[in-house]
Amino acid sequence: MAVQKATPPRHSRRVEAWVYSVLNPLLDSIRRELLLLGRGDLTWRAYSKGFEYIKPIKEYFDPSQLPNLEDFLADPLNPGFASEFAAHDRAVDETSSRARQFYDGLINTVLFRRQVEEAARKYQADPRNALKPLNLGKDDLPHYVAEYLINKTEELPGYYVTHGFWKEKKDQFLHPADEFEAYKQRNSFRALQRQVTKLRSTSENLVEHLERHRRDLCTKFDIPAAPIPSNPPRERDRDDVSSYIPRRA
């Protein structure tokens, strides 16, 4: 016997779970994703051959909240999200694949590796860099440089071993004007940029749908868009420091 679907009541704890453990965390994650994409920082890593902070939808959730995600997707009150999440994940996978193709093209180009080697030699021969040595394996630097190019890295944190090198030598490798034709990577670079644009568009549409749906659920079921603290401190309590002063016996 089929179970008949019932519309949740006003102030439904189940709908609250959708809003607080599904919609809100996902909105935060996709907005961060859009911020990174807007800067051109894909957070692609050479060691993993993938993104660090741009992920498939399920990976944005704490495992303990996956049952709420599954419940959200299964309920007819939330139509269309399963297909939108799948479209987002396909866009992430395709972008990662395009980044890998561009990376492989650079790494396998003799001119690129030779230029990295020469830049490293000149950097380490400069007495001014004696206190900033490139303590890397012999073949590591080309992989880092390719990663920085994929992520459009302008500046590295000071604690990176490659901070000084990239600050001094990056202009030798950044070729957006000729789309890396010097390394015969114009096609792979263009394909990556097109896919980044598609991913950004997909994520923007998803954020718009998530925001609209959260607003609709909150209105229909009369619940706040975020949990309200059960005992918010009163203004006087926050300002009154007398309670922290030990009393004399």
Quick one: 129 and 146 in the same domain? yes
Q: Are 19 and 51 in contact (CB under 8 A)?
A: no
**pLDDT at residue 201, rounded to an integer:** 98
Residue 136 sits in which domain range? 110-183
**pLDDT at residue 158, rounded to an integer:** 92
Q: Determine, yes or no, domain membership for 245.
A: no
- What angle separates helix 110-125 from helix 141-150, to the nearest 10 degrees? 110
Tell me the C-alpha distance between 55 and 52, whole Å. Answer: 7
Quick one: 133 and 175 in the same domain? yes
Quick one: 99 and 128 in the same domain? no
Tell me the C-alpha distance between 245 and 243, whole Å. Answer: 6
Q: Determine, yes or no, domain membership for 4.
A: no
Alpha helices for 108-242 (secondary structure H):
110-125, 141-150, 163-169, 186-221, 235-239
Quick one: 97 and 209 in the same domain? yes
The phi and psi torsions of 91 (rounded to 5 degrees) equal: -65, -40
Quick one: 95 and 150 in the same domain? no
- What CA–CA distances, in Å, run from 125 to 114, 134, 144, 156, 172? 17, 11, 20, 21, 17
Q: Determine, yes or no, domain membership for 33.
A: yes
Quick one: 209 and 98 in the same domain? yes
Q: Determine, yes or no, domain membership for 1.
A: no
Quick one: 52 and 100 in the same domain? yes
Tell me the C-alpha distance between 12 and 8, whole Å. Answer: 6
Number of domains in the chain: 2
Tell me the C-alpha distance between 170 and 174, whole Å. Answer: 6
**pLDDT at residue 81, rounded to an integer:** 98
Local confidence pLDDT in tens for the 249 residues of the chain: 445 567 899 999 999 999 999 999 999 999 999 999 999 999 999 999 999 999 999 999 999 999 999 999 999 999 999 999 999 999 999 999 999 999 999 999 999 999 999 999 999 999 998 888 888 887 899 999 999 999 999 999 999 999 999 999 999 888 665 778 878 888 999 999 999 999 999 999 999 999 999 999 999 999 999 998 876 666 555 555 444 344 444
Its pTM stands at 0.86
Quick one: 103 and 120 in the same domain? no
- What angle separates helix 24-39 from helix 186-221, to the nearest 10 degrees? 150
Quick one: 99 and 206 in the same domain? yes
Q: Determine, yes or no, domain membership for 240.
A: no
Quick one: 150 and 48 in the same domain? no
> Among residues 183, 218, 242, which one ends one of the domains?
183
Tell me the C-alpha distance between 78 and 68, whole Å. Answer: 12
Quick one: 206 and 150 in the same domain? no
Q: Determine, yes or no, domain membership for 238.
A: no
Q: Determine, yes or no, domain membership for 143.
A: yes
Element (H, E) at 51: strand 50-51
Q: Are 81 and 209 in contact (CB under 8 A)?
A: yes
Neighbours of 48 (CB within 10 A): 9
Quick one: 58 and 176 in the same domain? no
The three-class DSSP label of residue 45 is: strand
